[in-house]
């Protein structure tokens, strides 16, 4: 089981202040409402995912920590922005990416859906670190990964493999 509150707690411990989001089917039912209901976070809804890459980078430059919350299809659509703004300019863009259609207990690379299958290989080719978050115990990876990403600026992706409850 993956609980939204565990993710929210980890984001707060990692000092994420802003959540930039485009609603998706994996995170919109429980995780996004939990974030929006918490007065700790400031939220910004966007129209296109690549806008979020630039907004997160701009927030970093001004001394703030942000999270981009999107679906894997939006990640695929944002490859050029990630390359230019996050990878080449070494901006610590932190993303949580919902893997819509990934089967429980199946590794993303073994998923039936092509779009889900190619996410990890694409991130690997781009040199973008990533972790799969599917169970409550996986949320323990969130704070250390975010801290490392800010120590050595580069993008990082948390792949949300099932809908948080």
Q: What is the pLDDT of residue 116?
A: 98
Residue 109 resides in a domain: yes
Residue 136 resides in a domain: yes
Residue 155 resides in a domain: yes
Beta bridge partners of 67: 19, 94
**Residue in the block written with tokens 């001004």:** 62
Residue 22 resides in a domain: yes
CATH code assigned at 66: 3.40.50.970
Q: Per-residue DSSP letters for the chain?
A: ---HHHHHHHHHHTT--EEEE---TTTTTTHHHHHHH-TT-EEEE-SSHHHHHHHHHHHHHTT--EEEEEEHHHHHHTHHHIIIIIIITT---EEEEE-TTPPTTS-GGG-SSHHHHTHHHHHHHHT-EEEEE-SGGGGGGHHHHHHHHHHTT--EEEEE-S---
Structure tokens at 151: 């120590």
Residue 89 resides in a domain: yes
Q: What is the pLDDT of residue 165?
A: 93
* pLDDT profile of the chain (165 residues), mean per 10: 97 99 89 97 97 98 98 97 98 97 93 97 98 98 98 98 93
Q: What is the pLDDT of residue 28?
A: 85
Tell me, yes or no, if the pTM score tops 0.85: yes
Q: What is the pLDDT of residue 24?
A: 86
Residue 165 resides in a domain: no
Residue 123 resides in a domain: yes
Please give the residue range of the domain that contains residue 145: 4-160
- Cα distances (Å, whole numbers) of residue 15 to 11, 18, 107, 122, 142: 6, 9, 29, 28, 11
Residue 86 resides in a domain: yes
- Cα distances (Å, whole numbers) of residue 157 to 39, 68, 95, 134: 24, 9, 5, 14
- How many independent structural domains does the chain possess? 1
């Amino acid at each position: 089981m993956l609980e939204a509150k565990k993710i929210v707690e980890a984001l707060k411990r990692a000092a994420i202040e802003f959540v930039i989001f485009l609603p998706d089917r994996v995170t919109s039912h429980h995780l996004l409402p939990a974030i929006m209901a918490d007065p700790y976070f400031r939220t910004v809804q966007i129209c296109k995912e690549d806008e979020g890459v630039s907004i997160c980078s701009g927030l970093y430059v001004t001394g703030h920590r942000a999270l981009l919350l999107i679906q894997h299809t939006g990640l695929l659509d944002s490859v050029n922005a990630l390359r230019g703004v996050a990878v080449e300019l070494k901006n610590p863009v932190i993303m949580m990416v919902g893997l819509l259609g990934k089967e429980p207990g199946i590794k993303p690379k073994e998923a039936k859906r092509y779009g889900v299958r190619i996410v990890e290989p694409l991130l690997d080719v781009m040199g973008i670190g990533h972790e799969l978050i599917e169970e409550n115990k996986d949320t323990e990876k969130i704070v250390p990964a975010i801290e490392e990403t800010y120590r050595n600026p580069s993008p990082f992706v948390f792949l949300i493999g099932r809908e948080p409850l």
